Amino acid sequence: MGRLDGKVAIVTGASGGIGKAITKEFIEEGCIVVGFNYTPSSENIDARFYHEYILDITDRNAVESAVKNVVQKLGRIDILVNNAGITKDNLVYRMTYEEWDSVINTNLTGAFNMVKATIREIAKNEGVIINVSSVVGLEGNIGQANYAASKAGLIGLTKSLAKEFGRKNVRVNAIAPGFIETPMTEKLPEEIKKTALEKISMRRFGKPEEVAKLVKFLVIDGTYINGQVIIIDGGMEL
C-alpha cells in the first residue's frame, strides 16, 4: 500500500517532463492524479489512477468548472502541484507585450487561479501545495525578465499562502529547479547548454525524476516544512 492511498492530487502540466515524473511518483504511492494539461499526455496511464482535463489554466471559468468536476467525481482534493509553465525569452528592449503577458499569465496568474479554485478543498483535508518555481526566480537571468518575474512571483505567492493557511495545517512550499532534462531545455542552443554545464558543480543536468522525488518528499515526509523554497540545481553558480 502506498503512503498516499486515498489522496487526490491535481498536477498542472502533467504531460510535460517534470509533471510526468511527479505523476508517476504519486501514482506509485497510491495517489489518484488529475492532470490539468494544455496538451494531452502521450503516456498510457491506468485510468484508475489518472484523470486528465485539457484546459488553459489562464481561463478562470474553465479552471473552476474542472475543479468542481474533480470534486464531484473523486470526492476530494488533497494536493496541488502548480507545475505548468512556459518561456518566451527575449531581451527586454525586444520583448513584446504579448511575450510578457503570456508568460506571467500562465506561470503566475495560472497558479493563482488553481489555488483560488482548490484551496477550500485542500484546507478541508489539511493538504499540501507545491509551486514549481526556478533558480531564475531567485537570481534572474539575461533574456528571461518575464520568466524570472513569474517564478519570483510564485515564491512570494508561496510564502503568503503558507502564512495564511498554516493555521489550517495546510503546507505550501516551492521548489526551485536549475537545468533539468525536459523538452523545454532540449530546445536550448548547444552553446547555452555547454555554458550552463560549466556552472553546475556536478557537471550534468538534473533528471525530472530527481525533481519528482523532492516533491514527493515535501508532500509525504516534510510535515514541518512550510513556506520554504528548496533549490535543486546540482550546485549551480549563476
- Residues involved in catalysis: 147
Tell me the C-alpha distance between 78 and 10, whole Å: 8
Residue 188 sits at φ, ψ, to 5 deg, of -70, 145
Place of cell 560549466: 198
β-bridge mates for residue 12, sequence order: 36
Phi-psi region of 6 (alpha: psi -120 to 50; beta: other; left: phi over 0): left
With beta carbons less than 8 A apart as the criterion, state whether 51 and 73 touch.
Answer: yes
Up-side HSE of residue 161: CA atoms within 13 Å toward CB? Answer: 30
Q: How far apart, in Å, are the Cα atoms of 112 and each of 31, 160, 161, 205?
A: 23, 12, 10, 29
Total Cβ atoms within 10 A of residue 20: 23
